[in-house]
């Protein structure tokens, strides 16, 4: 049986919410452009990070900062809520990914998630409080990657000209590094491959187009998917629902205020 996934979004677009429940499949390693804060309400989920893992149970919170590679183990029966924050439009400190067990944080998270999900006018005030409480709990991340400039340039290129294919060999040539050496250093530094980062960038761009009223077919062509079906399959796999359902859920949250 497919898990139940429900999405919401505040009017500003800075904050989004997700509710997930049921049997959850394992996920591939991935990252997010946004800060992800969440709380488990039922069952258990294992959050895997590079080099460690957190076994999350009822009441446990978690934080996954932007660009942190992670994966989820499968779960037979669970329910949890997620709040995402766009770091380009809200200040997000450089935290380490972590489990959160704190009563005050839980209360603020619950209030913030409800406010964003229902389109409450005080959603941004709640979110600012949540970020402040989170900042008191989480350690700052030390970035020990010290990646070569060529790898940093490759990271930027994975998010550009998304309508065109970008083979690893071509990416290596553009940054002046052999494809195999680039692949090894890139994965060591980011925990993901250039292809995985590019797919995530394409999906983010497709979502942005869909929110402006573009058709699924146009969004697919503009972001480098083979066709509309390819985008729908990828969207469903990574977002939990197809584009049409995702758009209806967001529209419902924004019109039922």
pLDDT given for residue 252 in this prediction: 63
Can you read off the two tokens belonging to residue 116? Answer: 């964003």
Give the model's pLDDT for residue 77. 94
Prediction pTM value: 0.92
**What would the pLDDT profile of 196-236 be if each residue is shown by its tens digit?**
999 999 999 999 999 999 999 999 999 999 999 999 999 99
Structure tokens of 226?
């083979």
pLDDT at 253: 55
Average pLDDT, the chain: 93
pLDDT tens per residue, range 27-36: 999 999 999 9
Is residue 147 predicted with pLDDT exceeding 60? Answer: yes
Check: CB of residue 17 under 8 Å from CB of residue 83. yes
- Could you give the domains of the chain? 4-137 (2.60.120.10), 149-255 (1.10.10.60)
- Residue, of 249 and 108, whose pLDDT is higher: 108
* Mean pLDDT, rounded, for 66-70: 95
Which stretch of DSSP H or E encloses residue 20? strand 15-24
Where would I find the beta strands (DSSP E) of 27-130?
35-42, 45-49, 52-56, 61-64, 70-72, 75-85, 98-100
Query: Cα 198 to the chain's mean position, in Å?
Result: 14
* Average pLDDT estimate for 20-47: 96
Q: For position 11, what pLDDT does the model report?
A: 80
């Amino acid at each position: 049986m497919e898990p139940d996934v429900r999405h919401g979004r505040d009017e500003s677009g800075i904050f989004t919410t997700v509710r997930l429940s049921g049997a959850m499949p394992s996920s591939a390693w991935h990252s997010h452009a946004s800060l992800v804060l969440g709380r488990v309400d039922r069952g258990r989920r294992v959050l895997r990070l590079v080099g460690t893992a957190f076994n999350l149970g009822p009441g446990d919170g978690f934080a996954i900062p932007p660009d942190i590679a992670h994966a989820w183990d499968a779960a037979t029966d669970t329910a949890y809520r997620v709040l995402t924050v766009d770091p380009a439009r809200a200040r997000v400190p450089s935290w380490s990914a972590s489990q959160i067990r704190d009563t005050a944080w839980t209360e603020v998270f619950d209030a913030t998630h409800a406010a964003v999900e229902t389109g409450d006018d005080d959603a941004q005030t709640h979110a600012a409080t949540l970020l402040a409480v989170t900042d008191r709990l989480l350690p700052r991340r030390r970035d020990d990657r010290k990646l070569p400039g060529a790898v940093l340039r490759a990271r930027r290129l994975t998010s550009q000209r998304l309508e065109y294919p970008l083979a690893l060999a071509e990416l290596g040539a553009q940054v002046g590094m052999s494809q195999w050496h680039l692949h090894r250093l890139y994965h060591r530094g980011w925990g993901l491959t250039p292809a995985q980062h590019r797919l995530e960038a394409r999906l983010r761009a497709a979502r942005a187009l869909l929110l402006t009223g573009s058709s699924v077919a146009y969004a697919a062509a503009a972001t480098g998917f083979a066709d509309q079906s390819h985008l729908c399959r990828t969207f469903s796999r990574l977002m939990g629902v197809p584009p049409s359902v995702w758009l209806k859920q967001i529209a419902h949250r924004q019109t039922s205020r």
